[in-house]
Amino acid sequence: MTNQFSEIPESFWGLFRSRNRQIYIDALLRVNEEYQYSNYYLSREICVQTLSDYFARQKVTLEREEWEEPEEDFELPEPLSTRILNWLLRAGWLRKVEDYAAMTVYIVIPDYAAAFVDAFAHLAGEDEEESQVYIQNVYGILYAFKNDPRSNISLLKAALVNTRRLNKTLQDMLHNMDKFFGSLLEQKGYGDLLKEHLEGYVEEIVRKKYHILKTSDNFYLYKADIKKWLGEMRQDYPWLLQVCERNKRLRGLDIRPEEVEKQLDLIERGFDDIEHRIMNMDREHTRYIRATVTRLNYLLNKEDNMKGLVIRLLNHLSATEGKEERDRETERISALINLSQTAVLSEKSLYKRRRPKQDFAEGLTPEEETTELSGEEILRLNRIRNRYSRKQIETFILEKMKDGRLEVREDTITSPEDFEKLILAYDTSVRKDSPYRVREQEAEIIDNGKYRYPGLVFERKEQRAGLPGEEGDSK
């Protein structure tokens, strides 16, 4: 990737130190808008006319740039739009391209300046559509990558980029929630707080962002299908080889199946992060609504509510400067209000006579004792244990052992029967006559896409006489 910092002229950064900073930024946004409308060919005349039309609708005073512009140049009788355009050209935010064949001078936006203009548009809220990265993008890309024989690894990278952008959008929304909590305390009137809530939080967060992510673009509507596709692609090794061969044939890229699996793992991890952040947003949204209702009730009833009056009293004391002045104010208030009366502290009496213990005991109903089911009862209810003989269960473990040891891995369990035998094998390992035992250690949970089970380690006991089990029921 080319480092474009070397292309930026020193005068470019003068925009951020300029007294006319906002005027120049507004001019750049208008030029960029017309730039896109004119199919990225903007003549100097059209550029001047665009700025003239925009600044004619508002009163603008351009101050002289003392650190760069000579005073005699500033006093030249030029229109405001021409002066702004010349400054942007001189500072390097815009660039002139002369077309000698058409005898025209075009105004273009350099690559490095376009990155800053996009950031200005984002801060001004003009590109809200781009911030709403929909989950359908990832859904459609993964569907095409899985089913289209012409797809290549670039589609998978695009799905990963969209997943990360959606993660970042959610995280930005979550980090900016604190400003809405702060605005609750800044509003002193009931109407002002209600307006701030409806026009600020509801309009900016609920309708434009939170609502879209939770309803019309419901994450959970696509999550199950996407996770299923990721698992299927990861386990289909012949298909992964086809993808690698296709990339080498069409794009000349030498890609291994492990690299494709790594991309799939990153997308799946991103989806787990999205789900976690949505849960955090739900919690913050609930907290904000609860705090808003509490604040509205306080502003509505603070003159009549006992708690509101006490809060006003405490705020008054905290606003008093100086310890001596605060002590005098406290003495003056205590002479007017008797804070020791229970009627001031609470509407209910602080003391209630207790009922006799026997009455209290008679009013209680005895709790029903609940007993946990034993392992034997659970297996009997599921009717799994009677499906296999003890010899079948022990043979399942012993045949998979190497040098008297079996470490359960992702490829150990491939069918429902294997999963049931693994459960029953662990149960029979505690018997004295079992030919194997389970090593006592904390086993990590294995998820092979179809089943979740602990990574147990079976070790063979000393060889006993006879077969490793008896025919018949495993009881």
pLDDT of amino acid 375? 58
Each residue's pLDDT tens digit, 55-113: 888 877 888 776 555 555 555 567 888 889 988 998 899 988 887 777 778 888 888 89
pLDDT of amino acid 93? 92
Q: Is the pLDDT of residue 359 over 70?
A: no
pLDDT of amino acid 130? 44
Q: How far apart are CA 272 and CA 219, in angstroms?
A: 11
Percent with pLDDT over 70 in the chain: 70
Mode of pairing for the β-strands spanning 42-43 and 436-438: unpaired
Each residue's pLDDT tens digit, 455-471: 888 888 875 444 444 44
Which of 116-125, 201-210, 253-262, 294-303 is the least confident region?
A: 201-210
Mean pLDDT, rounded, of the chain = 76
pLDDT of amino acid 314? 78
Q: How far apart are CA 58 and CA 69, in angstroms?
A: 24
Each residue's pLDDT tens digit, 191-226: 777 777 766 666 666 655 665 555 555 677 788 888
Tell which residue, 14, 28, 116, has the closest CA to residue 65.
14
Q: How far apart are CA 31 and CA 25, in angstroms?
A: 10
Token duo for residue 440? 């006592």
Query: Is 340 or 292 the better-scoring residue by pLDDT?
Result: 292
Q: In which order are the strands placed within the sheet that holds 436-438?
A: 405-407, 457-460, 436-438
Q: How far apart are CA 170 and CA 131, in angstroms?
A: 10
Query: Is 188 or 136 the better-scoring residue by pLDDT?
Result: 136
Residue type, 185: L
pLDDT-derived band at 40 (thresholds 50, 70, 90) equals: low
Between the alpha carbon of residue 218 and those of residues 204, 208, 235, the distances in Å are 18, 14, 27
Average pLDDT, integer, range 426-439: 84
Which of 15-29, 43-57, 96-110 is the least confident region?
A: 96-110
